[in-house]
Amino acid sequence: MPLALLFDLDGTMVDTDPLHIAAWNAMAAPYGKQIDTAFYRSRIMGFDNPTCSAAVFPELSIAARDALSDGKEAAFRAMLGRLHPTPGLGDLLDWADAHRVPKAVVTNAPRANAETMLRGLGWLERFPVLVIGEELARGKPDPLPYLTGLQRLGASAADAMAFEDSLSGMRACVAAGIESVGLQVALEASALLAVGASLVVRDFTDPALWARLQARM
């Protein structure tokens, strides 16, 4: 197997960060709280729901935080309209299919969110391997979700390339030993490079990415 591709979902395949912030704020408003972009990027972006809810509502019980997380995710799904993929991603998936390159989505998003987003993009059937972090013993930034993705694809880390936009996700795929490409959606390139990204691109149209893909085949 010359190559396998593993994709984070939120922020990497489609820019959903504004919707996540709005959904968290809908839950936080009754408590007199609001989160801003800086808080989202440092304390929520890329983490699993227990970590996120603990960051927003540290004073509440785990049960109360879990209930608010469920409400937040329902609010997020209700906000989803027509989704627009990151530029160039459709071409990359077509290229992968043409070259029989296996691919997976590896996400900390709940399954209902992930399937709703992939269905909205028209790509749910294109990803038979969908790894959900909260269904495993540990989510990102632990490498387990990416190691699970590799196992389900029948690939080794040396065969793979992963795409991430968050520090949590980047740490996970780097710890799994996978060549990691950072999407400069919300963070500076320097931040992604500092945690191990081998390449940082604006989107999937970047010539440097395509040169690297060709070199890996």
Q: Which positions are catalytic? A: 8, 10
Instruction: State how far the alpha carbon of 31 is from the alpha carbons of 23, 28, 58, in Å.
Output: 14, 5, 12
Rounded to whole angstroms, how far apart are CA atoms 43 and 166?
Answer: 11
For the chain, how many helices (H) and strands (E)? 10, 6
Identity of the residue numbered 179 = E
Rounded to whole angstroms, how far apart are CA atoms 153 and 151?
Answer: 5
Angle ∠(117,123,128) on CA atoms, nearest 5: 100
- In the numeric block, the tokens 């996978």 are attached to 178
Phi then psi for residue 104, to 5 deg, are -145, 155
For 97, the token pair is: 């299919």
Rounded to whole angstroms, how far apart are CA atoms 129 and 93?
Answer: 14
CB 140 within 8 Å of CB 108: yes
In what helix (H) or strand (E) does residue 57 lie, and over which residues does it extend? Answer: none
